Amino acid sequence: MIRIEKAELREIRLPLIEPFETSAGVTTEKRVLLLEMTHADGSVAWSECAAEALPTYSPDTVDTCWFALVEWVIPVVLRHEFEWASDVDVYFERRIRGHRMARATVEMGTWSIAALRLEVPLATLLARHAGASPRATVATGIAIGMQADPAALSARVAEAAREGYCRARIKIGPGRDVAFVSAVRDAAGQEFALAVDANCSYSLDDPSHLAALRELDTLGLAMIEQPLAHGDLVRHAELQRDMKTRICLDESLDSDTSAEAMLAIGSARMANLKPGRVGGFSEAIAIHNRCAAAAVPLFCGGMLETGIGRAYNVALASLPYFTEPGDLSPSSRYWVRDVVTSPWTMDAEGAVKVPLDKPGIGVDVDVGLIDDLTVRRVSLSRS
Ligand code: MG
């Protein structure tokens, strides 16, 4: 039985080593919500909210999630007891429309509590729920933000290849696409796995956009991620029929229901699965199993998580059908100092070790550092 007695929500500000630019803007400092939940037996789980400061990627933001967590989501787990972690999602699905990133913060934390109470690693618990075994390592790709010119981008991709990353995924947008990607392809060679992510910035109604997408289709890309609008499964299906390169959906995939629609009409042949975006692990595992049955490969996307959120993503990415490299970069790529005491690392082959040697998320949280970085906090208890 899962019985949460106390939940403390905080916002921290964590400076990035370098600014990260996508078609939606530039991020220099990450505003992060962290949740610390305490179970009746004293077990403590830290979890992270995937939301960003602005509603450019998702309608959920740091501030809407703060409100949703304090007003609706956390009170649910402080008022009820749950037999399984997956029951939390069932309850949320019935009572709270949307607010998936806020729900995921609590839902994923309860999986961590459940893993601690069963004395198993989080990855093992998720795999059991999926009817599978976790793998020992997960392959890592790198997402590279927009650069000033094709030469600068090529240099960044060459550096990523040297560091061992299994794939580079380049952020593109109209006017900053074909010339950039062609230069990278020439510099990196045909063998290196190269993908692009457009973050919804193209339209089939614009002939110049369509021409760029057709040229990108000739560059041997591993996939083209989310070229069209976030809600537009129909036009993605139309485009996929027209392209030999796999389309991968990210923003469009907000639930198992949208995954079912994506597969039914052929909107994509790959999926970027972020557990925060779909409401947590229960929904993510359902999507994993659905995509496995349809032979549509997955990768675990990132939201510039700290080492806490990274632990949850690594556990999810250890499920067997995450066959494509995930956004699981080591801590040193993003943070001057991560909020976990043993930063995440990657080996020379681009593999991250799944922590299978201790119960729970497998990393220790640096509470002292989090205290120093906290800009607001609220504590809620079972009454
Ligand atoms: Mg994306």
Domain with residue 61: its CATH number is 3.30.390.10
How many angstroms separate the CA atoms of 230 and 236, rounded? 10
Q: Does the active-site annotation cover 171?
A: yes
* 150 in a structural domain: yes
Q: Does one domain contain both 170 and 290?
A: yes
Residue 71, CB half-sphere, CA atoms under 13 Å: how many? 9
Choose among 242, 213, 313, 239: nearest CA to 272: 313
Question: What's the CA dihedral at 90, 91, 93, 94 to 10 degrees?
Answer: 120
Burial of 28 (0-12, 13-18, 19+ CB in 10 A): exposed
Residues 152, 271 within the same domain:
yes
- Distance separating the N- and C-terminal Cα atoms of the chain: 18
* Helices of type H across 223-353: 233-242, 256-265, 275-278, 281-293, 307-317, 331-334
Active site residue 6: no
pLDDT at 119 over 80: yes
Q: CA–CA separation, 47 vs 28, rounded Å?
A: 22
CATH number of the domain bearing residue 290: 3.20.20.120
Q: How far is the CA of 44 from the centre of ligand 1 (A)?
A: 32
* Cα 102 from Cα 88, distance rounded (Å): 13
Question: Which DSSP string do the residues of 209-229 spell out, in sequence order?
Answer: HHHHHHHHTTS--SEEE--S-
Residue 287 pLDDT grade (very low, low, confident, very high; cuts 50, 70, 90): very high
- Asked if residue 135 belongs to a domain, the reply is yes
Cα 138 to ligand 1 centroid, rounded to whole Å = 19
Q: What is the mean pLDDT of residues 306-330?
A: 95
Confidence of residue 26 (pLDDT cuts 50, 70, 90): confident
88 in a structural domain: yes
Based on the domain organization, do 115 and 163 belong to the same domain? no
Residues 253 and 175 in one domain: yes
Q: Provide mean pLDDT across the span 68-91.
A: 95
Residues 144 and 24 in one domain: no
The answer to whether residue 358 is domain-embedded is no
How many domains does the chain divide into?
Answer: 2
Rounded to the nearest angstrom, the distance between the alpha carbon of 363 and the centre of ligand 1 is 26
Same domain, 187 and 235: yes
Give Cα 82 distance to the centre of its chain.
26
Q: What angle do CA 105, 165, 275 make, to 5 degrees?
A: 15
Query: Which residues have a Cβ under 8 Å from the Cβ of 371 and sit 6 or more positions away?
Result: none
Distance between Cα 198 and ligand 1 center (Å): 7
From the list 6, 30, 171, 358, the catalytic residue is 171
What are the structure tokens assigned to 105, written together? 């913060």
Name the catalytic one among 6, 30, 244, 274: 274
Question: Which residue in 49, 175, 167 sits closest to 105, CA to CA?
Answer: 49
Q: Looking at the domain assignment, is residue 185 inside a domain?
A: yes
Ligand 1 centroid to residue 79 C-alpha, Å? 36
Distances (CA, A) of 210 to 132, 167, 172, 173, 282: 41, 25, 14, 12, 37
Do 197 and 346 reside in the same domain of the chain? yes
Quick one: how many helices (H) and strands (E) in the chain? Answer: 15, 13
Q: Are residues 134 and 263 in the same domain?
A: yes
Give per-residue pLDDT as tens, 209-244: 999 999 999 999 999 999 999 999 999 999 999 999
Per-residue pLDDT, averaged over 202-209, amounts to: 97
Average pLDDT rounded to a whole number, residues 29-34: 94
The verdict on residue 164 lying in a domain is yes
Model confidence at 312, in pLDDT bands (50, 70, 90)? Answer: very high
Same domain, 141 and 102: no
C-beta atoms surrounding 271 within 10 Å: 30
204 plus 279 within the same structural domain:
yes
Q: Count the alpha carbons within 13 Å of 233 in the hemisphere toward its beta carbon.
A: 16
Q: Using CA atoms of 59, 65, 67, 71 in order, give the dihedral in degrees to the nearest 10.
A: 110
Together in a domain, 230 and 174: yes
Q: What angle do CA 96, 124, 278 make, to 5 degrees?
A: 25
Give the pairing type, strands 44-48 and 137-139. Answer: unpaired
Q: Domain range holding 318? A: 127-353
73 CA distance to ligand 1 middle (Å): 26
153 and 93, same structural domain?
no
24 confidence band (pLDDT: 50, 70, 90): low
